[in-house]
Amino acid sequence: MDDERSSDKGIVLTEEQKRRRRARSIAIALVLAALVLLVYIVTIVKLGPGAIQPPR
Amino acid sequence: MTDLSAIEQRAEPALALSSAEVADFVALMKPRVMSLVVFTAFVGLLLAPGHFHPVLGFAALVCIAVGAGAAGALNMWYDADIDAVMTRTARRPIPAGRVLPGEALGFGATLAVGSVAMLGLAANWFAAALLAFTIFFYVAIYTVWLKRATPQNIVIGGAAGAFPPMIGWAAATGGVALESVLLFLIIFLWTPPHFWALSLLRSGEYARAGIPMLPVVAGRAETKRQILLYTGALVPVSLAPWLLGYAGFVYGIMAVAAGAFLALLAWRIWTVAEGRPSDLAARRLFGFSILYLFALFAGLLADRAILIG
């Protein structure tokens, strides 16, 4: 934890911590994108073309 | 291990930075357990009558897999204290210090809510309720309550692992039928011999961790007797889908042949002398039990493929 703290700069991440945080962020982005795609496809399959047609 | 020390173990320092790799979060979901869950749920989904859109089927399987992963993460969050003292589990992400307990709790809870909601939207709310109950059962009933309280922990808790084919079936049909209950029963009765064979090999570790597994509480001889009894109940039940006409000859042959071999291994465990031969017999039963369950469900799939083809 010594590397992470500096009295005047607050918490400073090590290069390894930055790399791991970046990898986690990318993974979250990919999972969210997959979720959006899944919800979109499920919506189309369940509702059919009517999902994008306005009600009359 | 007292409840107080378990809570202290789960407490986090005021300032803690995550050093988790993505792979650690994957490990939290117990991918090997997840693969069995997906496979059995897939079989339940495929055997169900009627037409279910393949895309919705895929979405349902993803939800069931994620729900199982959520349960695994919440289990690892709660069990971090005992995982740390067992060599089999000491390298899991939380006891190894790579994932903070709070991270695992948040991760598991988010996935649990998300998977249930998504299954409700993609399939139906009955299947979603069944998935929610399964997660609740595994985390609250098995992990929090039974695991540390009774040697019947894995017998009752085994229900959580037996629900996935029922959820798959429910996703496709919106209900429960005798066929899906039989799939549940097969996994339910398979769980005790499978885990007790493992616990015979790890009884020292379970004792050190304070987990009242059957060999620790009732002794090795009684555990072997129970393994034989449960195997004796499992094999006839495994034949039921074939005898009742729900499955064809491929499943029938699989169930008879694999069941006979499983019974032979269980008998050998019971009769063999203590020491090295006993450990070898337990290891063989544990290893074959995984193959056995896979073979049964693969047999059901094969019969369905023959029927469709």
- pLDDT tens-digit map of B67-121: 999 999 999 999 999 999 999 899 999 999 999 999 999 999 999 999 999 999 9
pLDDT at residue B127 is higher than 50: yes
pLDDT at residue B2 is higher than 60: no
Provide the CATH topology of domain B21-176: Tetracycline Repressor; domain 2 (1.10.357)
**Could you tell me which chain A residue has the CA closest to the CA of B25?**
A24
**What residue segments make up the domains of chain B, in order of their start?**
21-176, 177-309
Is residue B272 less than 8 Å (CB to CB) from chain A? Answer: no
The reply to whether residue B17 touches residue A17, judged by beta carbons under 8 angstroms, is yes
% chain B with pLDDT above 70: 95
Residue range A9-39, pLDDT digits in tens = 788 888 999 999 999 999 999 999 999 999 9
pLDDT at residue B239 is higher than 70: yes
% chain B with pLDDT above 90: 88
pLDDT at residue B274 is higher than 90: no
**Rounded average pLDDT over B185-206:** 95
pLDDT for the residue A7: 57
pLDDT for the residue B11: 57
B57 contacts in chain A (CB < 8 Å): none
Q: Which of A31, A42, A43 should we substitute to test contact with B (largest number of B Cβ atoms within 10 Å)?
A: A42
β-bridge pairing A5-6 and A10-11: antiparallel
B121 contacts in chain A (CB < 8 Å): 39, 42
Please name the residues between 11 and 40 in chain B that touch chain A, using a CB distance below 8 Å.
15, 17-22, 25
**Domain covering B177-309 in this structure, CATH number:** 1.20.120
Is residue A13 less than 8 Å (CB to CB) from chain B? Answer: yes
